[in-house]
Structure 1
C-alpha cells in the first residue's frame, strides 16, 4: 500500500520542469500564459502521469487518487477524510471513518496505529478527538494484531486522564454500536491497568498522577475510581507510591492512610526522606484545601504546594488574595484564560503603572505574558493571543456574565506576546498568494464561526500578518466581484497596520456586493506569477462570476505546469459549503476559525497530511 506521507515528500522532488520567472515574463505573452492558444506540446497530455498521486482511469487518462491512508492522515489532522477542517467540536460517528475499517481489513491495521503514534508524539494532530476516535476503533477491532498494537500504543497517545476518559467514551460508543456490550474484556482491562502502571516509571510521573487524579477527577462521565475498579487494577508493594495513589483514587485518602500497608511504611527509618512522603504531603495539602474555611491557610497551601485553580473550593474563587497566590505558578494557557477574572478582582492597575506601583503578582503576570521562552516552551498559538486581546479589551466575556476593568499594561503585554507566538508556527518556505474577499458580506460586521468575538475581516488581517512575518515570499490582494487590488505589506507590519492598509483600499469602493473567488487565480495568471500556495479568506458567498473557482485553479495549474499548487479556502462565516474541490488532495477547506487553524494550515502545506 502506498504511504501518502512518503508520496507528499516525493512530490517535492518530482521531475517537473522548473520555470524561470524572468524568462517566463520575457518570452510569454498573456494569452500563452493562460494556455488558451498554446501549442499542444506545451502541456502534457491527460494520458501522461504528471503526479505521484495520479492513477489511470478506465479510459487511460490519469486522475488524482486519494488513497485510504491519505484519507486517514487527513482525518487525524482535520476530523474529515476530505481535508475539511471545522472549527470547534464536531461529533464523530463510525460513518465518518469507513476507510479505517477498510485499512484494517486489508491487513494494514498496525500501520494505522503507527501513524496515530507518529501524529500524536510529533504533535501533528492538534485536535485530539479524531486521533482518539481512530485509536478506539482499532482497539475494538476483531483483528488481533491491530488490537494488540492499539492497546500497546495507549500510554503514548493518551498522556493525561482527560484523553484517557475521552478514549473510554469512544470505546463505549463503539461497543454499544457493534454488540451492545460494555466493552470491558480482558484485553481492555489489562491495557487500562497498564496505563495507570506507566505512571510508576519515575518519581516525576508519580507526582503527575497525584496531580492528575485530583485535578482531572471526572471527565466525560468517567471517574478514576470507576475506571480503576473496572480495570481490576492490582499494584504490588514493590511500588508503594503507586499503590497508595490507586487506593486514594478508589477509596479516598482517609481510608488509604488508615491501611496497615501505609502505616507500616511510615514506621520505617527512610520514610521521612522517601518520595512516598512527598506524595502523602501533597495529597494532604489538597485535602486540607478542600476542607478549610481559612483564607490565609488556603493561600499558604497554594504557595507551598503549587496548587492549581481546580484544587480551590468555589467559596474562595472570588477572593483576591487567593488569585494572587494562584497567579504565581499558573500555566500560560490558564493565565490567559483567567485574565478577565483576575482583572475583576483588581489584581491589575486600571491605568498604565510604573514598576514601583506594581505588585509582585502584577509584575509577574505582565512579564509572563510577553516572555518569549515561556511562549515557545508551552507552544502558545498566535490565535490564542489574538482571541485574548479582543476579548479582554471588550471588558466582558461572550455570555456577558463576567465584566472587568481593562488594564492597559495587560493589553500591551498581550500584544507583545502575540508577535513572539508567531515563532511557534513553522515556516513552509513556499511562495504564497493571500487573497482576502472584501465583498459587502465580508466587510460588514460578520462574526467568525468558532471565534464569535472576532469579525471576518479581523481574522483575515491577522492571518495575512502572520503569513508575511513567517514566510519569505508572500503576495497579497483583496478582491470582490470582478476586481482585484494589490496589498503592499512589509514583514515588520503589525496587525493594525495591515488592517489600516486594507481599510485604505476600501476607501475606493470596489464593485459587487458578493464575491468571485476565481479572481485570485485570474490575478496570478495576469501577473504571470508562480505560487506554491494560494490562500483565500472568504465567506463563500460567491456570485455568478466566471469561471468556477475549482476550474480557475485547474487552469492556473495547467498554465504553469504545476499540478500540486495547494489551495487553502477559509470560510470564516460559513460552515456548510466550500468553493474547493473536496476530492482534490491539494485543497484544504477550513470552516470557521479557532486556535488550531494556523498550525493546521502549516501542516497541510508542509505535507504532513
Structure 2
C-alpha cells in the first residue's frame, strides 16, 4: 500500500480501534499486532522474533504517511491500558518515531518517554534501539538529552535511589553513561544526591553531604544509599545485614551473591519480596531449607501467596501462578541440579492462589467455545512454559468457565465432539482428569466448528488447543467461513498448537483468525486482545 494514500484510505488509528467490524487485515490492525507482540502476522509465538524495520512495515506506513503523532498516541494508549503483551516492540516503535524526519513525531515520541519507560531497564532498552537505528549521524542531540534528563528529574529521590541500585546497567548502557551523554542537570536536591552517587560513588556522596545539615527527605535518600553500601561490605556481620534489609527494605539485587547462601538473609528478604519474585524462588527456598515444613516461615509465605489484595495489586495472572505451582510440584529445576521435596502447605497455597487470581480476571462478555484436542497424549511439555499441555489446557478451561458466562467447553477426537463440564468448585486436577480420560484418535481441528454449526451454538470466539498440527479432512479456516455464512456472525478462531514451532492455519488476509505457537502468560494477553478486537 502506498503510504501517501493512507490518510484517504484509512481513518485515524484511534478510530480504527473503535471501528473493528471489518474482516480485512488493515494497516492499523498490523500496527497494533506489532505493538502487542512484535509481529504483524496472525501468529503469536512464545519465541520472540528479533525486532527490526522489516517486520514493522505498517509502522513505517503510518509515519511516512504523516501520521507519526497518532502512532505515538497508539503506543501510549496500548501500554497504559495494559494491552502490550511484550514491552520491547513498543520501545522499538517509540525509538523509530523519536528519530524520524518529522519534527512533531520526534517531539511526541520523546515526550512519551518518561511515561512509558517506568523502570531503568526500559530506558536502557529504548536508548539501545535508538543506537541500532541511527544511520551515520550521532543520536545524542538536544531533544534526546532533554528527554533523558526529564526521565531522571521526574522521579522522586527514594524511587530513583531504589531504581538505580537495583538495575545499574542493561542492554550495554549504564546510568553513568546516560547522565554523562545527556549532560544531566538535576532540578531538585534529592535527584542531585542520587546523581552524585551514580557519577562519583558513595565516597563522593559522603564528601558532598556527610558533614552538611540536610532536610529529612534528603536524609532518607542518604540513609538508604548508605544501607545499600553497608550491605555490599557486610561480609562478616550477618545480623547487621539482616537489620539493613529489614529497616530499608533492601531487595535481592542489592545484596552480594555470597549473602544468598545464608538462610537468615533469605528469611529477611522474603518478608517484603514482591509476590511474583517470591513465586519464582519457592523451589530454591525449599531445597535450601529456608522454608522448613511446619515452620512459621512457611506459614508466612503461604499467607502472602494467598493474599488476594497483593495478587491483584501485582497484576498476577492465573497462568503465572500455574507455572510457578507446576514447577514447584515437580520437585526439581528445569536445567539446574536443584531438588526439593514439595511442601504440602505451599502446594495448597499455590492451588488457592491460582483460584483467587482467576477471580480477578475481567470478563470480555464474548461467547466462547473452548475445544481441547484429546486425539493424542496431553503429557507433552508446552513450548514456552515448561509445564504439561494438559495443565495448560485444563487451566485455560477453568479460566474461561469461571470468568466468561457464555462458555462451552468440549473435547474432540476421531470424528467425535463431547461436551465437558467444568464447574466453579472443580480443581485443576479434576479438570485435567476429564481431559485425559477420553479415548484418542486422529486430529481434525475443524470438528468443534462443525459441531457448533450442527448444534446451533452461537459462538463469538473458537479456541482450539491441540498437540498436533494435522488439519484433518477440512481446513478449520474454511469451516469457520462456512459457519459465519450460516450464522451471520463474524466469529473468530484461535488455534493454539501447544508444542508447535510453527502453524499455518489462520488465513493471513482474515483479521478474525489467529495462530498461537506454544503457550505462556503473554499468550493469555494476546487471546484477550484478539477477542476484544484490539488486534
The TM-score, its normalising length taken from structure 1, stands at: 0.83
What's the offset of the Cα at 1:583?
2.2
Residue aligning to 2:385: 451
Residue aligning to 1:30: none
The secondary structure found in structure 2 opposite 1:329 is coil
The secondary structure found in structure 2 opposite 1:401 is coil
**Separation in 2, partners of 1:112, 1:8:** 12
**Separation in 2, partners of 1:439, 1:169:** 47
Is the contact made by 2:13 and 2:70 (CA closer than 8 Å) also made in structure 1? no
What's the offset of the Cα at 1:496?
1.3
What's the offset of the Cα at 1:182?
4.6
Residue aligning to 1:344: 287
Residue aligning to 2:449: 521
**Separation in 2, partners of 1:220, 1:158:** 14
Is the contact made by 1:433 and 1:475 (CA closer than 8 Å) also made in structure 2? yes
The secondary structure found in structure 1 opposite 2:359 is helix
Pick from 290, 299, 321 the counterpart of residue 232 of structure 2. Answer: 290
What's the offset of the Cα at 1:96?
0.7
1:69 aligns with 2:28: yes
- Deviations along 1:541-567, one digit per CA (max 9) or x if unpaired, are 215x332111101000001011x2111
Pick from 249, 253, 265 the counterpart of residue 198 of structure 2. Answer: 249
**Separation in 1, partners of 2:94, 2:246:** 39
**Separation in 2, partners of 1:386, 1:267:** 52
- Deviations along 1:422-442, one digit per CA (max 9) or x if unpaired, are 1332211111111111122xx
What's the offset of the Cα at 1:6?
4.1
Rg (Cα) greater in structure: 1
Q: Residue 546 and residue 83 in structure 1: after superposition, are their counterparts in 2 closer, same or farther (change >3 A)?
A: same
1:511 aligns with 2:470: no
Is the contact made by 2:251 and 2:273 (CA closer than 8 Å) also made in structure 1? yes
Is the contact made by 2:372 and 2:435 (CA closer than 8 Å) also made in structure 1? no
Residue aligning to 2:178: 227
Pick from 187, 212, 217 the counterpart of residue 267 of structure 1. Answer: 212
**Separation in 1, partners of 2:225, 2:124:** 22
Residue aligning to 1:40: none
**Separation in 2, partners of 1:411, 1:603:** 31
Is the contact made by 1:341 and 1:402 (CA closer than 8 Å) also made in structure 2? yes
Residue aligning to 1:541: 469
Q: CA RMSD in A?
A: 1.7
The secondary structure found in structure 2 opposite 1:99 is helix
The secondary structure found in structure 1 opposite 2:411 is strand
What's the offset of the Cα at 1:3?
4.4
Is the contact made by 2:381 and 2:388 (CA closer than 8 Å) also made in structure 1? yes
Residue aligning to 2:478: 551
Where do 5+ consecutive residues of structure 2 fail to align?
1-9
Is the contact made by 1:74 and 1:80 (CA closer than 8 Å) also made in structure 2? yes
1:311 aligns with 2:254: yes
Is the contact made by 2:378 and 2:467 (CA closer than 8 Å) also made in structure 1? no
**Separation in 1, partners of 2:12, 2:333:** 46
What's the offset of the Cα at 1:10?
4.5
- Deviations along 1:40-76, one digit per CA (max 9) or x if unpaired, are xxxxxxxxxxxx42xxxxxxxxxx4322222111111
* 1:202-217 pair list within 5 angstroms: 205-217=156-168
- Deviations along 1:290-347, one digit per CA (max 9) or x if unpaired, are 0111211111110111100011111110100001100111111111111112112213
Q: Residue 4 and residue 532 in structure 1: after superposition, are their counterparts in 2 closer, same or farther (change >3 A)?
A: farther
- Deviations along 1:192-234, one digit per CA (max 9) or x if unpaired, are 11111111xxxxx321100111000111121111111111112
Pick from 299, 321, 331 the counterpart of residue 385 of structure 1. Answer: 321
Residue aligning to 1:278: 220
Q: Residue 573 and residue 310 in structure 1: after superposition, are their counterparts in 2 closer, same or farther (change >3 A)?
A: same
Is the contact made by 1:427 and 1:602 (CA closer than 8 Å) also made in structure 2? no
**Separation in 1, partners of 2:530, 2:516:** 11
Q: What is the number of equivalent residue pairs in this alignment? A: 525
What's the offset of the Cα at 1:7?
4.7
The secondary structure found in structure 2 opposite 1:479 is strand
Residue aligning to 1:497: 430
The TM-score, its normalising length taken from structure 2, stands at: 0.94
Where do 5+ consecutive residues of structure 1 fail to align?
12-51, 54-63, 200-204
**Separation in 1, partners of 2:330, 2:124:** 35
The secondary structure found in structure 2 opposite 1:397 is coil
Pick from 451, 468, 474 the counterpart of residue 407 of structure 2. Answer: 474
1:171 aligns with 2:130: yes
1:363 aligns with 2:299: yes
* 1:137-176 pair list within 5 angstroms: 137-175=96-134
**Separation in 2, partners of 1:568, 1:6:** 25
**Separation in 2, partners of 1:566, 1:302:** 51
Runs of 4+ in 1 over 6 A off after TM superposition: none
Q: Residue 569 and residue 376 in structure 1: after superposition, are their counterparts in 2 closer, same or farther (change >3 A)?
A: same
**Separation in 1, partners of 2:137, 2:373:** 51
Residue aligning to 1:60: none
